[in-house]
Amino acid sequence: MRVRPHRKRPFRPSLSKSLSKTLSGIGNFSAGFDKAFDKVAKSLSLEEFRHDVVDGLSRPAKSIPCKYLYDEAGARLFDAICDLEEYYPTRTETAILRRNIREIAALLGPRCTLVEPGSGAGSKTRLLLDHLDSPEAYVPIDVADRQLLECSARLAADYPLLKVSPVCADYTHDFELPPLSFGSQRTIAVFLGSTIGNFEPQEAGEFLQRLARLCGNEGGLLIGVDLKKDPPILHRAYNDAQGVTAAFNLNLLGRINRDLAGRLEGSLFRHEAFYNERAGRIEMHLVSRLAQGIRIGSDEFLLAEGESIRTEHSYKYTRGEFLQLAADAGLEVKRCWTDQREWFSVHYLAPFQRDLPAQQGWKKSCVRPVPKESFLWGARFHRPTKSEVTKENL
Ligand code: AVJ
């Protein structure tokens, strides 16, 4: 069987020449992307961005969804945060994974398919792939199309036996995965870095349920969860001495200016992050240094001196709280690994009973209709087997 990108997808981002070249070098990936689709996809997500910003700033307690922190500059700043001395989560999680990788590999079993929402730079993925028993396929899901494609191409080149099938989508929406038939043993959702903490607890439960449906009765979830700890340690992690987190937060203003014709002045805001003990979460805000009016396109908003725009929530859990959250989503904590100080945890979850409706294929993972703009494209990368190398492919 020849493997082609799926033909009937409504939106496909176009690829730069050099990227298409990299991609065509690694197998029978055909880069038949249409520029027009790119424009439509971009303007649709810009519309969503504008809507979310205007909506968030119109509320009595102003806020902007945290996913908008991650444009290209934001993603780079976040990578820099992960290397900071004060920011313990990345380092601690990686150490937990390293220390327990054999047990993790044994639990995940042979020939699994890994699905990873918010795959990002994908360095922890490699640690898994290096130790798993003949992983069958890898399905990274991310909105950052460039990084997604580049990572996919590199992984496919480095792991010739792995089928890599990137999906460009915003996983905070319900999205549709292309129908994949990898013949793998089981599907494992990988959601590391404590990104689960960005969801409100109820949303986090719903998200876990969606992942559980996606993985089916035989599947499992590998989830990184930041744990509750002494507030000063948390405070330091989100208020680093070099101001990288502040730059990450303030970068959102630049993005609004650039993408939404905003006229926000970075120097009129300051970064603030604190642990809200009652709610059990870190809150990140942009605080107005003075009373000011801010323009975004044709909309104007008034900010009082000291008034803030909340840009992120990062919930922290105790092991017990997370166990409860998982249980409410029908998932059992099969195993939980932590570091000695119990600052961070990695959980392996699986469905409690076999009472989920049987899921055949991926499409049924969608409960609500798929918003068109949230699905960009699905393509597959893999090295063609001999029988797939037909004349047409060459
Ligand atoms: C990627 C959402 C897990 O909340 O710790 C880091 C993002 N924000 N510093 C976190 C973040 C400020 C990070 N997550």
Q: Is the pLDDT of residue 27 over 90?
A: no
Q: Would you state the pLDDT for residue 7?
A: 36
Q: Ligand 1 pocket: which of 143, 191, 311, 314 to mutate (most atoms <8 Å of CB)?
A: 314
Supply the pLDDT for residue 364: 33
Reported as half-sphere exposure (CB side, CA atoms, 13 A), residue 169 has a value of: 27
Mutate to test the pocket of ligand 1, among 83, 85, 194 (most ligand atoms within 8 A of CB): 194
Residue having the nearest C-alpha atom to atom 1 of ligand 1: 195
Q: Measuring from atom 2 of ligand 1, which residue has the nearest CA?
A: 195
For residue 21, pLDDT beyond 90: no
- Tell me, yes or no, whether 137 and 162 share the same domain: yes
Please, which pLDDT band fits residue 43 given cuts at 50, 70 and 90?
low
- Please tell me the predicted confidence (pLDDT) of residue 29: 35
Q: What is the pTM of this model?
A: 0.82
What residue's CA is closest to ligand 1, atom 10?
A: 314
Shared domain check, 170 and 95: yes
What pLDDT is recorded for position 26? 36
Q: Does residue 12 fall inside a structural domain?
A: no
Same domain, 202 and 328: yes
CA of 314 to the centre of ligand 1 (A): 7
Ligand 1 center to residue 26 CA distance, Å? 33
The answer to whether residue 367 is domain-embedded is: no
142 and 200 part of one domain = yes
d(CA 335, CA 357): 24
- 237 pLDDT band, cuts 50/70/90, is very high
Which CATH number do you get for residue 170? 3.40.50.150
Which amino acids bring their CB within 6 angstroms of ligand 1?
81, 89, 193-195, 197-198, 238, 245, 284, 312, 314
Q: Residue 158: give the domain boundaries.
A: 85-229+317-353
pLDDT tens for 330-347 read: 999 999 999 999 999 999
Give the distance (Å) from ligand 1 centre to CA of residue 237. Answer: 9
Ligand 1 midpoint to CA 205 (Å):
19
Structural domains of the chain, count: 2
Q: What's the gap in Å between 245 CA and the centre of ligand 1?
A: 9
In a domain, 338, yes or no: yes
Q: Which amino acid is at 325?
A: L
Task: Decide if 164 contacts 155 (C-beta within 8 A).
Answer: yes
